[in-house]
Amino acid sequence: MKKAVLFLGAVLASTGALAKLDLNGVALGASEKEVKKSFPSALCKPLEWKSAATDRRCDDSKISLAGVEARVTFYLKNDAVQAFDLRFNTSDLDKVMPQLKSRYGKPSAETKDTIEQPGKEPRVVYKVLWEQGKDRASLVAQMDKKRVQLTASRGNWEEEIYRIR
């Protein structure tokens, strides 16, 4: 039985099913100290508004991911990362996606939609979703816009972060 459990764990790990949602080694649940250790130039401060989801944020203006320049914000509650928001240029999407897929595993969903409106140019939107228990990461790229956004969060963070209190 013990061998079967170890084998199953190895299989799941090799498929990415056990991959943590992290950014350069800082996973959801990490402390502010861990954020500062991996991102020494991050500026951490109290959140500017009341939120049940977050009480502090750490911003790092420029980081490197897959060899491209990106910007990141970590959101913490009770000294634990609840979410992070990564932004990078749309032109770098082809460089970043292979690293995200190798790190987070096979996406739960991946779509490329064309939105057509009368009298306007069609817009292409690329969306990718990874789900791991109560953690999730979603990437949205509007191909005609400058920036791609990847948000990784725990629980209902996305619903709570901007809820008016």
Residue boundaries of the structural domains of the chain: 8-160
Averaged pLDDT, 44-62: 91
pLDDT surpasses 60 at 140:
yes
Averaged pLDDT, 136-164: 92
Of the pLDDT bands very low, low, confident and very high (cuts 50, 70, 90), residue 162 is: confident
pLDDT of residue 17: 47
Which of residues 60 and 91 earns the better pLDDT score? Answer: 91
For 104, what's the count of Cα atoms within 13 Å in the CB-facing half-sphere? 30
pLDDT surpasses 80 at 10:
no
Of the pLDDT bands very low, low, confident and very high (cuts 50, 70, 90), residue 62 is: confident
- Per-residue pLDDT tens digits for 27-46: 999 999 999 999 999 999 99
Averaged pLDDT, 135-140: 97
b/e per residue 119-154 (b: at least 16 CB within 10 A): eeeeeeebebebebeebbbbbebbeeeeebebbbbb
**The token pair that represents 106 in the structure block:** 């096979």
pLDDT surpasses 50 at 16:
no
- Mind spelling out the 3-state secondary structure of the chain? CHHHHHHHHHHHHHHCCCCCCEECCEECCCCHHHHHHHCCCCEEEECCCCCCCCCEEEEEEEEEECCEEEEEEEEEECCEEEEEEEEEEHHHHHHHHHHHHHHHCCCCEEEEEEECCCCCCCEEEEEEEEEECCEEEEEEEECCCCEEEEEEEECCHHHHCCCCC
Averaged pLDDT, 140-152: 96
Mean pLDDT of the chain: 88
pLDDT of residue 6: 35
